[in-house]
Amino acid sequence: MKRREFVRSALLASATLPAFKFVPALARSGPIPDVAAITGDGREVTLRGAEIRELAEKLQGHLLLAGDNGYDQARLLLNPSFDKHPALIAQPADVAGIQNAVKFAREHNLLLAVKCGGHSHSGQSSCERGLQIDLKNFRGVQLDAPGRKISVKGGSLLGQVDRETMPHGLVTPLGTVSHTGVGGLTLGGGFGRVARRFGMAIDNLTSMDVVTADGRLLHTSARENAELFWGLRGGSGNFGVVTHFEFKLHPMQREVVAGKLTFPFESMRDALSMWADYAPAAPDELYFDPVVMMPPGGAPAIVQLEICYSGPVKDAERALAPIRKLGTPVADTVTTMDYVDVQRSGDIADPRALGTYLKGGFISSMPGELIDALVGGIKGDPRRATLLFFQHCGGACSRVPENATAFAHRYALANMMTLSGWAHGEDPADHIEATRRYWSGLEKFTRGFYVNDMPREATAAQINANYRGNHQRLVALKTKYDPTNLFRLNANVQPKRT
């Protein structure tokens, strides 16, 4: 995604951490105080020090309280505007530890957040005074190259997967920024540079293991717990903590043709019109995505076309020909690149420096009226970065029936998004208001939103409607597997009251 445009650098070191073994540990010595906490439905509770110690002993990982080393790093998300303070943070290092943390949350009815990569746009992976399960110590992948599959632990980051599979000429479609979490991205759907060719992340899952609200570990696949497998694919984090994702792999050469064509801001209308004509008809191997950037500080605004062509290199120029008709760009970085480098090219160097606010929704086409609204409504401001960008969908993503998985937006040609970014610490009110104002002219062209880009202020009715024809089936699953709505910090499906 394009926040990467503000600050870029190499892959976050944490993306490449190997799995390692923990001894049970509280980060502090001496007596554990009682801790005030909150339940999922907002009631005050007190967690006794002895109970907290018992959880720490069962965790095979770390248990952090406010003031402990690592507490602030764990509670904060990529977007520092979410400044929440969990009562406890559990960092389990194995499946049993995850089960014990879930059981503890259930026994105390605690408000529960689950954090993988921490990229949530709505701040759902941390919580105020509840229990946060932070999966950062539960990362790693196991590749079966001959069997063309990879098993990925539930706390892993995308970069770990590409780095393992590409040396074998294999790929599974994940997102575009390598430090995004596999957990959140996959459970919401998962779009990326090769999704038009190989489908969304959820379309490539062969199984998942999940710890449900009662603490059980269930294996799910098309043959086992098949209904739960259906709901996990697009149902957000509603059904439990996924401990393992198994993805199928596709043969793909390492070299792709990728980069950016940069044009002056005045080309915005022409670039969007070209995209409107060519994006629906483009070959599945071509992912291209218009970005309009109005940087802070008054630097000139630009229009970019981000490109990744993953078919045979010799065919790339033919696929790019309609794009080239836009004229000579002011900068052209499109060249033959290693796919793993392309996947890291948008990583953010200092993720905690930038407050952001995003609005987004799916479009099935880009009519002239939408182009008018996009061009006419965009306004820069020297105090913030303003961004308009699209994630190109369609292709294989659209060739799956809407009820085959819980993800119900197969019609989408693109995910259209706009974002403000400001220096963390500034008052965000104006920046948020500016994004809302722009979005108010765009929203009527959308048909629903990506649960992974769920607006902070989405109401229960909007979330229910967004699951479209799949909502009732999800309610039945939720009622069966999570009747107390333990897993509520997500695009929440509410269980039926009994």
Ligand X SMILES: Cc1cc2nc3c(=O)[nH]c(=O)nc-3n(C[C@H](O)[C@H](O)[C@H](O)COP(=O)(O)OP(=O)(O)OC[C@H]3O[C@@H](n4cnc5c(N)ncnc54)[C@H](O)[C@@H]3O)c2cc1C
Nearer to ligand X, 155 or 329 (CB): 155
Nearer to ligand X, 185 or 268 (CB): 185
| Residue 435 found at the interface with ligand X (CB under 6 A) | no
Q: Nearest distance from residue 111's CB to ligand X, in Å?
A: 12
| Residue 466 found at the interface with ligand X (CB under 6 A) | no
Distance, C-alpha 384 to centroid of its chain: 23
| Residue 334 found at the interface with ligand X (CB under 6 A) | no
For residue 3, CA distances in Å to 63, 143, 184 come to 32, 31, 18
Choices 111-119, 221-229, 455-463, 478-486; region in contact with ligand X by CB under 6 A: 111-119
Going residue by residue from 375 to 394, which x/- string records binding to ligand X, judged by CB under 6 A? --------------------
- Contact with ligand X (CB under 6 A): which of 109, 490, 493, 495? 490
Nearer to ligand X, 166 or 486 (CB): 486
Nearer to ligand X, 47 or 133 (CB): 133
- Contact with ligand X (CB under 6 A): which of 489, 492, 493, 495? 489
- Contact with ligand X (CB under 6 A): which of 78, 374, 408, 417? 78
Q: Nearest distance from residue 59's CB to ligand X, in Å?
A: 16
| Residue 340 found at the interface with ligand X (CB under 6 A) | no
Please report the beta strands in 135-178, taking only residues with DSSP state E, as ranges in sequence order.
141-144, 149-153, 170-171
d(CA 213, CA 240): 6
Choices 27-35, 113-121, 299-307, 436-444; region in contact with ligand X by CB under 6 A: 113-121
| Residue 105 found at the interface with ligand X (CB under 6 A) | no
CB 181 within 8 A of CB 118: yes
| Residue 455 found at the interface with ligand X (CB under 6 A) | no
Q: 221: part of which helix (H) or strand (E)?
A: strand 217-221
Residue 382: Cβ within 10 Å count:
10
Please report the beta strands in 393-457, taking only residues with DSSP state E, as ranges in sequence order.
414-423
Q: Nearest distance from residue 114's CB to ligand X, in Å?
A: 4
Nearer to ligand X, 138 or 275 (CB): 138
Q: Which residue has the tokens 């957040």?
A: 113
| Residue 101 found at the interface with ligand X (CB under 6 A) | no
Nearer to ligand X, 37 or 78 (CB): 78
What tokens were used for 83? 């400044």
- Contact with ligand X (CB under 6 A): which of 100, 165, 176, 466? 176
- Contact with ligand X (CB under 6 A): which of 56, 114, 388, 419? 114
Nearer to ligand X, 71 or 373 (CB): 71
Nearer to ligand X, 274 or 393 (CB): 393
Which residues 6+ apart lie within 8 Å of 464 measured at CB? Answer: 471, 493
| Residue 495 found at the interface with ligand X (CB under 6 A) | no
| Residue 125 found at the interface with ligand X (CB under 6 A) | yes
Determine whether 22 is exposed, middle or buried from the number of CB atoms within 10 Å of its CB (0-12, 13-18, 19+): middle
Q: How, if at all, do strands 286-294 and 217-221 pair?
A: unpaired
Q: Nearest distance from residue 380's CB to ligand X, in Å?
A: 21
Q: Which residues pair with 114 in a beta bridge?
A: 133
- Judged by DSSP in three states, 297 sits in helix
Identify residues 238-277 at the interface with ligand X (CB under 6 A): 241-242
CB 290 within 8 A of CB 326: no
Residue 146: Cβ within 10 Å count:
7
Size of the site for ligand X (CB under 6 A): 35
Identify residues 177-236 at the interface with ligand X (CB under 6 A): 177, 180-181, 183-185, 187-188, 190-192
Nearer to ligand X, 112 or 373 (CB): 112
Nearer to ligand X, 371 or 467 (CB): 467
Q: Which residue has the tokens 């308009």?
A: 388
Q: Which residues pair with 351 in a beta bridge?
A: none
Nearer to ligand X, 235 or 329 (CB): 235
Nearer to ligand X, 329 or 355 (CB): 355
- Judged by DSSP in three states, 155 sits in coil
- Judged by DSSP in three states, 322 sits in helix
Determine whether 325 is exposed, middle or buried from the number of CB atoms within 10 Å of its CB (0-12, 13-18, 19+): exposed
CB 397 within 8 A of CB 195: yes
Q: Nearest distance from residue 46's CB to ligand X, in Å?
A: 25
Backbone phi, psi, residue 143, to 5°: -95, 135
Encoded amino acid at 236, one letter:
S
Backbone phi, psi, residue 362, to 5°: -85, 140
Applying CB under 6 A, which residues contact ligand X?
1, 3, 77-78, 114-121, 124-125, 135, 154, 175-177, 180-181, 183-185, 187-188, 190-192, 237, 241-242, 452, 489-490
